[in-house]
């Protein structure tokens, strides 16, 4: 089967590697020169909303998926008239807008921080008095890795926050004094079969994911997160991989956001699970059943951001695997990651510490 993928970054590259192993071929659409996925398949070089580029991918593919969530939904709705597009575009639309996303969590009884849509300074002042400070003010659309956010600590800064974030189309939410962050990743097939990977604990530095560890061994949290992601997959009549990110505060889960795609916090599944998130996404969109999502021991992942140090390239550590996306170095850019698999949580943590 030929799978058309919108976006050819590292997620596309890892989807392409998984697709090859499963006997499929990928055709990508991406505007950038020489993107990571060009090492695993042909890339049609055009903007994500370019009608002729999209038409070409659709004409030459058997099914379409995406690896990047800021794809224009309207452009994909056009394609959907002639070819299956997974995950469903209603899921993409809700993931692109933090207000719709939070309303989805509410409708599914998934707990989340108190929030309020903001379109003016007055709205924010009202939110501050109703919810209390600090508040995290975010743009509803196009925020990622902590960009497009303002932590409001004083009522006097309402003007600055609203102005800095563009004046309207914002959301304010209660600042959560979380103990740690987790994500739960699930997959649903075209026939409705669901599989969920073990809960993953995530650590961010400067808003960017730095380390993931799985399984996170609190069984009660894991069961709850598993239930939440299943509710989402069912409600959205979902096909493919979905990642739900949550805060853990006082032993309770609070939903932060979801991604309708494979996710950085699931990279450990490449070596650390029986079936990786990339393989299962390809299986799902291609119409097959999901493979087992059990962890193989204790797994972890460290992102390599800005550069890949020589010591990491020469890493002599059984159980550690370097994934280099082949991107040119730049501050803040995700260039690769290292996956580790160990026999104990302590050994896994020690291995992650040694990779700097």
**What is the number of H-type helices and E-type strands within the chain?**
12, 17
Per the document, the length of the chain is 356
- Determine the 3-state secondary structure of 88 from DSSP: coil
CB within 8 Å of 312: residues ≥ 6 apart: 304, 322, 338, 355, 356
* Burial readout 262-288 (b: 16 or more C-beta within 10 A, e: otherwise): bbbbbbbbbbbbebbbbbbbbbbbbeb
CB nearer ligand AMP, residue 67 or residue 181: 181
CB 225 within 8 A of CB 246: yes
DSSP 8-state symbol, 297: S
Tokens 């991989």 found at = 241
Least CB distance to ligand AMP at residue 144 (A) = 6
Closest by alpha carbon to 30, among 54, 52, 47? Answer: 47
Least CB distance to ligand AMP at residue 333 (A) = 17
CB 6 within 8 A of CB 13: no
- Answer yes or no whether residue 303 interacts with ligand AMP by CB under 6 A: no
First to last CA, the chain: 40
β partners of residue 28? 5, 43
Q: Which residue is nearest to ligand AMP (CB)?
A: 176
Site string for ligand AMP, 86-125 (x = CB under 6 A): ---------------------------x------------
Residue from the set 189, 212, 256, 276 that interacts with ligand AMP by CB under 6 A = 256
Residue from the set 88, 111, 117, 143 that interacts with ligand AMP by CB under 6 A = 143
β partners of residue 6? 29, 66
β partners of residue 245? 183, 257
CB nearer ligand AMP, residue 189 or residue 303: 303
Closest by alpha carbon to 131, among 143, 140, 118? Answer: 118
CB 113 within 8 A of CB 176: yes
Residue from the set 64, 95, 136, 137 that interacts with ligand AMP by CB under 6 A = 136
Least CB distance to ligand AMP at residue 111 (A) = 13
| Binding to ligand AMP in span 204-243, by CB under 6 A | 204, 207
CB nearer ligand AMP, residue 65 or residue 183: 183
Least CB distance to ligand AMP at residue 100 (A) = 14
CB nearer ligand AMP, residue 141 or residue 204: 204
Least CB distance to ligand AMP at residue 252 (A) = 14
Least CB distance to ligand AMP at residue 215 (A) = 20
Using CB atoms within 10 A of its CB, is residue 23 exposed (0-12), middle (13-18) or buried (19+)? exposed
Q: How many residues bind ligand AMP (CB under 6 A)?
A: 12
Residue from the set 47, 51, 146, 192 that interacts with ligand AMP by CB under 6 A = 146
CB nearer ligand AMP, residue 30 or residue 173: 173
Tokens 């061994």 found at = 217
Least CB distance to ligand AMP at residue 98 (A) = 8
How many other β-carbons are positioned within 10 Å of the β-carbon of residue 317?
A: 13
Least CB distance to ligand AMP at residue 246 (A) = 10
Least CB distance to ligand AMP at residue 146 (A) = 4
Site string for ligand AMP, 164-203 (x = CB under 6 A): ---------x-xx----x----------------------
How many other β-carbons are positioned within 10 Å of the β-carbon of residue 331?
A: 7
| Binding to ligand AMP in span 331-350, by CB under 6 A | none
Least CB distance to ligand AMP at residue 257 (A) = 5
Residues near ligand AMP, by CB under 6 A? 113, 136, 143, 146, 173, 175-176, 181, 204, 207, 256-257
């Amino acid at each position: 089967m030929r799978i058309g993928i919108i976006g050819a970054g590292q997620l596309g590259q890892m989807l392409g590697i998984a697709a090859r192993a499963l006997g499929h071929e990928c055709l990508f659409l991406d505007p950038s020169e020489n993107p990571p996925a060009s090492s695993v398949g042909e890339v049609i070089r055009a903007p994500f909303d370019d009608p002729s580029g999209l038409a070409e991918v659709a004409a030459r593919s058997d099914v379409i998926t995406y690896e990047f969530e800021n794809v224009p939904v309207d452009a994909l709705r056009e394609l959907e008239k002639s070819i299956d597009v997974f995950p469903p575009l209603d899921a993409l639309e809700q993931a692109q807008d933090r207000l719709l996303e939070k309303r989805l969590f509410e409708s599914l009884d998934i707990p989340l921080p108190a929030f309020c849509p903001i379109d003016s300074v007055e709205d924010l002042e009202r939110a501050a008095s109703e919810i209390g400070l600090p508040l995290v003010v975010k743009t509803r659309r196009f925020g990622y890795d902590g960009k497009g956010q303002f932590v409001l600590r004083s009522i006097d800064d309402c003007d600055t926050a609203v102005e800095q974030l563009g004046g309207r189309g914002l959301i304010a939410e209660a600042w959560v004094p979380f103990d740690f962050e987790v994500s739960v990743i699930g997959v649903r097939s075209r026939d409705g079969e669901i599989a969920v990977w073990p809960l993953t604990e995530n650590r961010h530095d400067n808003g960017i994911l730095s380390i993931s560890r799985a399984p996170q061994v609190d069984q009660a949290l894991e069961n709850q997160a598993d239930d939440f992601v299943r509710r989402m997959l069912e409600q959205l009549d979902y096909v493919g991989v979905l990642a739900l990110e949550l805060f853990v505060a006082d032993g309770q889960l609070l939903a932060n956001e979801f991604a309708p795609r494979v996710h950085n916090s699931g990279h450990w599944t490449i070596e650390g699970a029986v079936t990786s998130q990339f393989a299962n996404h390809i299986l799902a969109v291609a119409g097959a059943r999901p493979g087992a999502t059990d962890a193989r021991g204790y797994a972890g992942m460290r992102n390599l951001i800005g550069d890949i140090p020589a010591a990491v390239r020469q890493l002599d550590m059984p159980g550690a695997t370097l994934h280099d996306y082949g991107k040119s170095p730049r501050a803040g850019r995700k260039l690769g990651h290292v996956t580790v698999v160990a026999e104990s949580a302590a050994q896994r943590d020690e291995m992650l510490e040694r990779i700097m």
